[in-house]
Amino acid sequence: MRKSYSGREIYISNKLAFNSNDRIINVISQKQKDAIKYRYSVLKEYNSLTEMLDEKKLLSFYNTELQINNISKDVDLRKLFIQSQISKYKATGMSEKLYVREIMAETGFKTVTQLIKVAYS
């Protein structure tokens, strides 16, 4: 298995993390597992995108994708993900208590206060 993915969690290098800190993200959903499997099928023998493309090109593709989707390059993607999940769960009629617990599991936040701070900062 590749060093960035253990099967239960994925390692995010400080070079890629929003706040420049190394981060471990729990992999819990089938959607996450499918995305990781797809990524590895694209990478083939490489461990990361930065082994395939130089960092400038990769950053250029990333910024272009953000621009196409009208997302600021300074966006906190965790915040965007959390807000998206809140909207999704609210639309299903799920109770706030239940969707907050679900989002905490998806994001690895340990307290509701931390989650709310990121979601609404």
> pLDDT (tens digit, 9 = 90+) per residue, 81-90?
899 999 999 9
The SS3 call for residue 26 is strand
Domains of the chain, residue spans: 9-68, 77-120
Q: How far apart are CA 38 and CA 32, in angstroms?
A: 10
Rounded to two decimals, the pTM is: 0.63
d(CA 24, CA 66): 24
pLDDT in tens, 17-64: 666 777 777 777 788 888 888 988 888 888 778 788 888 898 898 889
